[in-house]
């Protein structure tokens, strides 16, 4: 199957079955989403959503958060992965957001990544979700699913390489949706250890599916890169 046909089939399926995909992180404004995405690094959205209501009640905006002590923030996020570092990152982020950006979450990737705890993936999420920019955040789900489906080459061995290849083949208006499509598909259907191929609606477009049927998952995935 030609790559363009694979993309077309997958886009068509998700466009019909998941026309308005959204992040599962709970937020009500750009500041809250930025905090939630920082917390979600190597942590589930479900866990993040459990702690953010009290966190946002205590620190409703960056002006309040910038004056907090990391030790105090830690108490609200202690069940999150790497709470010590993330507490420091949140306070540092708030200071920059207020002092340099007038409490407005910037839209440019180069501005977002200046803040503690904000790497390229987080910046892409903010730019895409808040500002509707054609940026593709590549997390473990996007990395895995895009390789399994055959949307990217096995030679794309880093998140940045996967990002560039996906953006190359997706139209600008589709990219923000495609980010969520791939994440949600990887989270609930094309899971890492035991993909639910029997429940998947895009097996006809999947590069890995015939190999799984013939050889099993472990053998089928030989040669596919793993995200670091």
Terminal-residue alpha carbon distance, the chain: 29
What's the full length of the chain, in residues?
228
Is 139 annotated as catalytic?
A: yes
Considering only CA atoms, which of 22, 87, 90, 86 is closest in space to residue 62? 90
**86 vs 103: CA distance, rounded Å:** 20
Residue of 66, 86, 121, 177 marked active site: 121
Answer yes or no: is 206 a known binding residue. Answer: yes
Asked whether residue 43 is marked as a ligand-binding residue, the answer is no
Contact, 31 vs 55, CB < 8 A? no
218 CB-contact burial (10 Å; exposed 0-12 / middle 13-18 / buried 19+): exposed
User: What residues contact 95, with CB distance under 8 A and at least 6 apart?
Assistant: 66
Q: How many CB atoms lie within 10 A of CB 96?
A: 17
Residue of 95, 99, 111, 139 with catalytic role: 139
Query: For this structure, is 219 an active site residue?
Result: no
**Residue 197 marked ligand-binding:** yes
> Is residue 224 within 8 Å of residue 152, measured between CB atoms?
no
Indicate the annotated binding residues for [4Fe-4S] cluster: 190, 197, 200, 206
Indicate the annotated binding residues: 190, 197, 200, 206
Residues noted as catalytic: 121, 139
């Amino acid at each position: 199957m030609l790559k363009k046909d694979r993309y077309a089939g997958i886009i068509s399926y998700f466009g019909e079955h998941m026309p308005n995909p959204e992040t599962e992180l709970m937020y009500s404004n750009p500041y809250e989403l930025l905090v939630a995405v920082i917390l979600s690094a190597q942590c589930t959205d479900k866990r993040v959503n459990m702690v953010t209501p009290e966190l946002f009640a205590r620190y409703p905006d960056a002006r309040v958060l910038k004056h907090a002590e990391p030790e105090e923030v830690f108490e609200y996020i202690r069940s999150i992965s790497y709470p010590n570092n993330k507490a420091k990152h949140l306070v540092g982020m708030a200071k920059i957001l207020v002092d340099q950006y007038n409490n407005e979450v910037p839209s440019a990737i180069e501005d977002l990544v200046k803040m503690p705890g904000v790497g390229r993936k987080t910046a892409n999420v903010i730019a895409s979700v808040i500002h509707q920019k054609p940026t593709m955040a590549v997390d473990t789900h996007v990395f895995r699913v895009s390789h399994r489906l055959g949307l990217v080459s096995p030679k794309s061995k880093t998140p940045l390489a996967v990002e560039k290849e996906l953006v190359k083949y997706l139209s600008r208006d589709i990219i923000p949706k495609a980010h969520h499509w791939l994440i949600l598909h990887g989270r609930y259907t094309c899971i890492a250890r035991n993909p639910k191929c029997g429940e998947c609606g895009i097996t006809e477009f999947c590069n890995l599916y015939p190999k799984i049927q013939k050889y099993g998952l472990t053998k089928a995935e030989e040669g596919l890169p793993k995200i670091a």
